[in-house]
């Protein structure tokens, strides 16, 4: 049955269009809208002025005065994405406010009701997710110009100066660079189906090259994101209400549910790119159970449904890894290992970034806030012991190398 799904039609760009994947920006939303119909201007204006309202101590008062609006007039997918992003940013700002211990445990119904309605329509949770703040939170300054940091900006930001712009845009540019590797999916599926070793070998080498370029893009984060600002300011606004001691029961969505709900905050684990590459290369991240496997499964539910469907589709396809293993072709195995090693390198670099932007700043604070930091130092915005998860993911990637097999 899986063989039939990789027909010549499926192996073309149709395979991507079917799953809301763009030829240029991949899993990101192409050309996100910046405005909604006029009746929703208050949402957009509030989301654009979060920093000023927080600094003036007026954020919560302004949010509570927003009118209760129906989402019925938001029929287009792009409109729903923009509204979900704006309400997500407003929600994070309302809950965390100044980023101190003044945490709001109830989201008022004028925000909670439309936010949850939109979330249901989009198949996303009612919290700011990666698909919002990274994949849909960007624009080009010159629409005809390139997708470069210099020619781009974000739609909404949080306190911390340009930290939001740097973090969200570099994440997006890594995402789009890595998507060049995913573009090889049709070629790989066709090569496995037709037992075309040379086409598969070249596609695997291309993947390795694309991932090396993605790592180069990742390295640019140091020029745009200050570790202290990220850890002490921006990161607080990305924190969720699952596994978070400041909201142990979760957040109450007034007018929607009678009990608080727990949702994980935005996380790179919610990016479809790397789960896609794992599936394509036959790297079994979710087998065997354990915290890392459970985290990866959970984070998939925070992705747009079409992207979840794409990952499930890849998992039903004939395995490139199994084909390489059965081929007894040294050059093909070497090409496969090159692609896996490039993915290991990218994950190694991610661990280094985590040390620079989370562990090191946490240690600097540990003298002043020792009690809290001991428990929270290794806890990510997704509410998980991220170091353990990242190291397990890297280990399973390394174990997939075919050298000496």
Extract the annotated binding site for heme b: 350
- Cross-strand pairs, 106: 252
- Cross-strand pairs, 379: 385
Residues making up the binding site:
350
Q: Given CA atoms 30, 34, 37, 41 in this order, what sign does their dihedral have?
A: positive
Q: Which of 77, 66, 158 is nearest to 114 (CA)?
A: 66
H/E element holding 140?
strand 139-140
Q: Which of 73, 69, 64 is nearest to 91 (CA)?
A: 64
Tokens of 83: 């509204």
> Measured between alpha carbons, how far is 13 from 16 in angstroms, rounded to an integer?
5
Tokens of 57: 């101590």
First-to-final CA distance of the chain: 29
Q: Which of 192, 146, 252 is nearest to 2 (CA)?
A: 192
Tokens of 138: 């960007």
């Amino acid at each position: 049955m899986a063989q039939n799904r990789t027909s010549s039609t499926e192996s073309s760009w149709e395979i991507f269009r079917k799953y809301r994947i763009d030829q240029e920006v991949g899993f990101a939303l192409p050309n996100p809208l910046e405005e909604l119909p006029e009746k929703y201007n208050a949402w957009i204006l509030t989301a654009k002025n979060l920093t000023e309202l927080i600094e003036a101590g007026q954020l919560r008062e302004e949010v509570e005065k927003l009118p209760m609006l129906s989402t019925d007039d938001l029929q287009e997918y792009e409109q729903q994405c923009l509204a979900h992003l704006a309400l997500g940013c407003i929600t994070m700002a309302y809950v965390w406010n100044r980023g101190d211990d003044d945490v709001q445990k109830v989201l008022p119904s004028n925000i909670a009701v439309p936010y949850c309605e939109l979330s249901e329509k989009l198949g996303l949770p009612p919290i700011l997710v990666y698909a919002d703040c990274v994949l849909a939170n960007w624009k080009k300054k010159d629409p005809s110009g390139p997708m470069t940091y210099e020619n781009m900006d974000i739609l909404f930001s949080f306190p911390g100066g340009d930290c939001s712009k740097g973090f969200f845009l570099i994440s997006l540019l890594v995402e789009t660079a890595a998507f060049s590797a995913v573009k090889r999916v049709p070629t790989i599926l066709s090569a496995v189906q037709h037992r075309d070793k040379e086409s598969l070998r070249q596609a695997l080498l291309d993947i390795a090259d694309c991932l090396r370029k993605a790592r180069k893009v990742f390295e640019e984060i140091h020029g745009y994101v200050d570790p202290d600002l990220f850890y002490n300011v921006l990161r607080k606004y990305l924190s969720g209400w699952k596994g978070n001691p400041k909201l142990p029961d979760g957040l109450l969505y007034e007018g929607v549910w009678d009990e608080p709900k727990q949702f994980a905050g935005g996380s790179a684990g919610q990016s479809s790119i790397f789960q896609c590459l794992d599936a394509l290369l036959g790297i079994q991240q979710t087998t065997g159970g354990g915290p890392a496997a459970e985290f990866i499964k959970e984070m998939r539910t925070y992705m747009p449904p079409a992207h979840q469907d794409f990952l499930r589709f890849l998992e039903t396809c004939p395995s490139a890894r199994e084909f390489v293993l059965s081929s007894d072709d040294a050059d093909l195995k070497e090409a496969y290992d090159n692609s896996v090693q490039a993915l290991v390198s990218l994950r190694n670099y991610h661990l280094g970034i985590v040390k620079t932007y989370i562990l090191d700043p946490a240690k600097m604070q540990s003298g002043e806030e020792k009690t809290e930091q001991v428990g929270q130092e290794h806890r990510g915005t997704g509410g998980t012991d991220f170091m353990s998860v990242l190291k397990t993911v890297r280990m399973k990637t390394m174990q997939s190398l075919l050298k000496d097999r």
